Chains A and B, each alone.
Chain A
């Protein structure tokens, strides 16, 4: 698709989402979340369109977007694996799971696979402390992980 028509399409989608939230400034976070879901990240273009429609400065939109760890302002993999690194999960064996995930995907935490499929990240407590180690893959939660189980789960997303 030509860049221009692709951009027009994105601009249209931004308008639809902002409209759904009645052009309310206070819905910025919800709007950014939806767009983050749609495109995997908030591109410069998307943020500009949001700013335009909510009558904000682009800087303000960027400022909000970079504050939150679940909003990406740079491209990420299709699936973001977020392994909890908080102490309860560590006590339950997070390090072994982390190694297994690194080995399986061939990337380190903070990186994205070359095919753009997976991003590997650590996250702070996801509230599964009694069932650690735990991870989120996009919106799905997995717990009671061990190295074997973790890579099997990732396998399903391949």
Chain B
């Protein structure tokens, strides 16, 4: 059987590999076929039936997304039959879709709305839902569901089950009663949901969204007695431009600082600062565990696994409660920041922490849940008051009438506005590992990590699981036990990939010493709070922006961050000191799944 087949689409001849879908073939020749249940990241479903096309020799229209080309066929994508059928299918979806577009957070970024426009829907043929039939599920601290808008494309299910390996949602019941539900129709707060928000970024309509705290933040800004501080994470800065029409991969860090100041935040700090702090704490913790094992012959829990990603943490608590001791005890950079702001910074700046409102700009939906964790109050207050997603902050900027793209640059505020390039790359999968290697290698050997221009390429890129081995040829005296040893590391992004690694760890056959896990695909830059749409292409561009920015910095190693060193000197003492443990480390809760 020949591998290449020539097909004719709308009169254009195109040669494709056997098994290419009609949709892919059409895209190759720039023929647009509308889709809804299809998503680049997900497996094929073929259920919305909007991508219907005419294939010669077939009585029925075929769903272009799900039909592999296995013979030389003639395909037509906009015959009368096709247009009529698509229009009817679209009308059926609209007839059952509640939502006045102008009250929907997906207004102007909704795939259904876009299709209605493309197909010139000017009146609803069948019905118009004027009253909501279901109450919105706002029980979760992070994810809000509105079944009234759901068109049952099941992208959320495939995201949750296949892509993330969680399975919080599934189709239940049958026929016209079919719904998307959690087990026993539990509210989202009780569901085995890790709050990653990946479902939100793949929902074509507004049936899923994050819990919106922008009004509370406005309120704090408007309150003259409050000092409102915002920290911004690296991933949103590489993506928020998309909300303002910039191409993916345009970093707007310094313009964003200006915008946030204009909105009324009193201080704008850089989460990279606590990313550097994380490296100091986590690196020390790792070296400590290695020392326990190799020198003191004590039992040490290895591999150690990163704990920056709150989606991953909840995943581990649900699915691998036995591996919780493997998690680093470090809080995430967001939470470290909150704790430092309400103690060290409050003292330094003479602010009563009770009047301080800490806001974070995060690419993440799970961060909202993290701020609410009862353990996250070591400053004596709620360490971080509100975690906002990239989308929420973009909304605030728009509401304030600020033209982000036209703004001048401004720097971060002192003293917590200084972050290294190592902290910056936390935003991409493999970034924490790379930052850790840059620091740990140098601390142990006294020499710079042996990678050209500090690019630790084996842990970069979009492969689901990455591994690397770092040989330590000679070590400084304090670390002599590591001399001649090889440090083995692994990186996973997306919890379905993390599952693969954890299964190996559970079996006790893992050779790794250190593992980085990020719950979201591509790491934070593909977070559930980032601009919609998402695809691997977009995630790659965001990653490129982050790595590019790193290379332009002179400060590219966490342990060289002078402000971090000053923090230790003035306040914390040494990494993993008693005070560090009090403020910067945490505990976990085994949850199980049943």
List A residues at the B interface (Cβ < 8 Å): 44, 47-48, 51-52, 57-63, 66-69, 73
Contact = CB atoms under 8 A, between A and B. Distances in A.
A67 B181 contact: no
B593 to A, nearest CB: 7
Interface stretch (B9-17, B163-171, B244-252, B474-482): B163-171
B28 interface: no
B110 to A, nearest CB: 26
Which of the listed residues A47, A59, A69, A73 has the most CB atoms from chain B within 10 Å of its own CB?
A59
B172 A58 contact: no
Interface string B520-553: 0000000000000000000000000000000000
A66 B172 contact: yes
Given A44-B184, A47-B184, A52-B594, A60 B167 contact: yes
B167 A57 contact: yes
Contacts of B170: 57, 59-60, 62-63
A52 B192 CA distance: 14
B181 A51 contact: no
Contacts of B192: 57-59
A100 to B, nearest CB: 29
Given A58-B192, A60-B167, A62-B170, A48 B181 contact: no
Give the top 9 A-B pairs by smallest Cβ distance, nearest first: A57-B167, A63-B170, A58-B183, A66-B172, A59-B170, A59-B183, A48-B594, A66-B173, A62-B183
Interface string B344-363: 00000000000000000000
Nearest to B172: A66
A66 B184 CA distance: 10
B183 A57 contact: yes
B182 interface: yes
B174 A59 contact: no
Given A59-B191, A66-B173, 20 more contacts: A47-B183, A52-B594, A57-B161, A57-B168, A57-B183, A57-B192, A58-B192, A58-B593, A59-B167, A59-B169, A59-B182, A60-B170, A62-B172, A62-B181, A63-B170, A63-B172, A67-B173, A68-B174, A69-B174, A73-B184
Contacts of A44: 183-184
Contacts of B167: 57, 59-60
Contact of A51 (B166, B172, B182, B594): B594
Contacts of A66: 172-174
Given A57-B192, A58-B192, A63 B171 contact: yes
A69 B174 CA distance: 9
Nearest to A45: B594
A47 B173 CA distance: 15
Nearest to B191: A59
A150 to B, nearest CB: 28
B314 to A, nearest CB: 15
Interface in B286-335: none
Contacts of A48: 594
A66 B182 CA distance: 12
A74 to B, nearest CB: 10
Interface string B126-167: 000000000000000000000000000000000001000011
B166 to A, nearest CB: 8
A59 B593 CA distance: 10
A67 B181 CA distance: 13
Contacts of A60: 161, 167, 170
